Structure 1
């Protein structure tokens, strides 16, 4: 049996090949280990419930007389707290989030030196975009500072 080639058969064959290519592409992209993606947070529903506390802490930090300051120095990132706060009474943590690679994310507790700043060492920070979140409490008041920075 001989198949007669005409323009109708060519159009149908082109559609079948195109659909086959699209299906192959979608399946291979969905199952490839090289193209895995992660959520920002595994417990994002729980994190959403804490959102109002973050809003209040953010308002508190905006009401300060002096803002939290972040400077890039040779030693690393220098995080300076407002001078109105006694450094020994500040408790909290600093979280640095790298959007391009979750293995570079890290969190550190706030330990302020006598000179009222916290130093994040240069060796921990690769060049590129970072999201920094500083959450601290001072005299039973919570504060939150968030910023995108390029190191």
Structure 2
């Protein structure tokens, strides 16, 4: 049987469409490619946006802001030395863009100016860290994307 050029073009189009559909179906049904890029309570967080802007503005006005270091024990969050660490309250939220099951929140409880987030809770890769804290009734917010 001889195939003319018109039939060959139709077969090529059908093969190409089948190829694309295979990858679309494969990517949308395979759990390996499931990435949750937004949080569950997106609209609730959107209402807090102006409050977050105010807190970040307060944090930028500080002489020294929060910093972080990667150590063998995990991530050490260092609060400003000029502040009394006993008056610092708040929470640290670590958000993993690729897997929402790895997200966690830790309350801030300091014995000095450093807060350790243990290595066992962190996987290698990208994390978004959000430190929402208060000192003497002034709210602050520190946000950073980190690679661990």
TM above 0.5, yes or no, is yes
1:14 to 12, 15, 18: 12
Distance of 1:77 and 1:26 partners within structure 2? 38
Q: Which residue of 2 aligns with 1:126?
A: 123
State the shift of 1:45 in Å: 1.8
Q: Secondary structure at the match of 2:40?
A: coil
Q: Which residue of 2 aligns with 1:65?
A: 63
Q: Which residue of 1 aligns with 2:23?
A: 25
**Alpha-carbon displacement from aligned partner over 1:74-131 (angstroms, at most 9, x marks no partner):** 3332222112322222110011223333333221000011x22212223323333322
In structure 2, the CA distance between the partners of 1:83 and 1:20, relative to structure 1 (3 Å rule), is: closer
Q: Secondary structure at the match of 1:112?
A: coil
Q: Larger C-alpha radius of gyration, 1 or 2?
A: 1
Distance of 1:19 and 1:77 partners within structure 2? 48
2:94 to 93, 96, 116: 96
Q: Secondary structure at the match of 2:18?
A: helix
Distance of 1:12 and 1:33 partners within structure 2? 34
Matches within 5 A, 1:70-85: 70-85=68-83
Distance of 2:143 and 2:122 partners within structure 1? 17
Segments of 4+ in structure 1 off by > 4 A? none
Q: Does 1:55 align with 2:56?
A: no
Distance of 1:5 and 1:73 partners within structure 2? 67
TM-score (norm: length of structure 2) = 0.84
Please list every run of 5 or more consecutive structure 1 residues that lacks an aligned counterpart in the other structure.
Answer: none
Q: Which residue of 1 aligns with 2:139?
A: 142
Distance of 2:86 and 2:128 partners within structure 1? 26
Q: Secondary structure at the match of 1:133?
A: strand
| Superposition RMSD in Å | 2.2
TM-score (norm: length of structure 1) = 0.82
